[in-house]
Amino acid sequence: MSVNLLLTQIVNGLGIGMIYFMIAIGLSIIFGIMHFINIAHGAFYLVGAYLCYALVSATGNFWLALALAPLAVGVVAWLAEPGVRRLYDLPASLQILATLGLALVIQEAVILIFDPLGKNVAAPAGLRGAAFFGSFVYPKYRLFVIVFTAAVAAVLWFLLERTRYGAVLRAGTESMQTVELLGIDISRIFSLTFAVGAALTALSGVLAAPIRGVEPFMGVEALSIAFVIVVIGGIGSFTGALAGGLLIGVVQSVMTTFWAAGANIMIYVAMALIILVRPHGLLGRA
């Protein structure tokens, strides 16, 4: 294998990793702050992608979909959070059952509203095709996704590390009771966190739509990737989700050259190894 090919696969893996980070960060925040196992996380991704498809079909404007679809999912999640709240105190097994049911309802609703056939979502006109850098070729739209995701990550980092809301969230991952004793309205924090997590996941669905199309079962794939990244990065850790996403992306991409048939398996092997070495993830805390 040439060095050029290896470098190409690494760069490609970083691109995939940024998309994976976007899929996982919402789950990481919700899981980390609220200790709520949300199997319906993949459904937010699904709904975001389908809203993108519907808006692009209706208006032909991808940018409108990029702005409106996450906002719509975030608002619905914010409104729905008080209803979901009663699940927080239930055992993990019941949380899984309830949210799995919700995920299936959303998936079947998508089939009823649209149909089971996959749909194509075209990338915006200026971002179609590939950019050529000598022998290195990369899709323009994926380059946009990397830059856009990096910008979203920077904003998120600022929000989580440099604002009062972020400080409350970070404190919440350590001890929610302490935060509550400090006089902070925890229910508002939960609503906002749930809405932000859902909106970010829907945003990843919108970004993924022109790359892989939309189909009713895409949420399942997103959920499994998100859980792997959250476990690898550490629950509730922003930088952990970023590191986990990039690591998984690079492992998957590079392995397609060494052992293509096992590229997917290696994602889970990497997860198992990290759990063995660092049970709380790369950047998670005990």
Partner 1 sequence: MITRRTFLGTTLTAAIASPAVVTRGLAAEQVRLCTALSLSGPFASAGQPAEAGTRLAVSALAKDYGLDVSLTMIDDEGNPGRAIPKLIVALQQGVRFFSGAVLSNVGLPMSAEVSNGGGVYVSSVGADEITGSACRRSTFRWPVPSYGAMRQTIVPLIDKHPETKRWYTITPKYVFGEAMLREAQNIFKERNIEHVGNSYHSMTETEFSGYLTNAAAAQADVLAILNFGPQSTNTLRQAADFGLKQKMKILLAWSAGTEQYAEIGSDVLEDVYVGAQYDAAIDSPGNRRVVELFRKNLNVTPSYAMVNGYVTAMLLMEGIKAAGSTDPAQVIKALEGRKYEGPTGDEELRAFDHQCIKNYYLLRGKAPTKKKDKDDYVDIISFGKSFPDAQHSDCKMT
What is each CA distance from 272 to 11, 228, 232, 276, 278, in whole angstroms? 24, 10, 9, 6, 10
Tokens 């749930």 correspond to: 194
Closer Cβ to partner 1, 162 or 212, answer by number: 212
Q: Judged by CB, which is closer to partner 1: 222, or 283?
A: 222
The letter for the amino acid at 267 is I
DSSP 5-43: HHHHHHHHHHHHHHHHHHHHHHHHHHHHHH----TTHHH
Q: Is 81 in the site for partner 1 (CB under 8 A)?
A: no
Range in contact with partner 1 (rule: CB under 8 A) among 40-48, 163-171, 205-213, 268-276:
205-213
Is 221 one of the binding residues for partner 1 (CB under 8 A)? yes
Query: Is residue 93 within 8 Å of residue 254, measured between CB atoms?
Result: no
Under the binding rule (CB under 8 A), the answer on residue 239 touching partner 1 is no
C-beta separation of 124 from 60 below 8 A: no
By the rule CB under 8 A, 154 interacts with partner 1: no
**Which tokens go with 39?**
């199997």
Binding mask 127-146 for partner 1 (x = CB under 8 A): -xxx-x----xxx-xx----
Residue 165 touching partner 1 (CB under 8 A): no
Residues between 42 and 61 with contacts to partner 1, criterion CB under 8 A = none
Write down the residue that tokens 């998984």 correspond to: 248
Q: Which residues bind partner 1 (CB under 8 A)?
A: 2, 4-5, 8-9, 12-13, 15-16, 111, 115-120, 122-123, 128-130, 132, 137-139, 141-142, 211-213, 215, 217-218, 221, 252-257, 260-261, 263-265
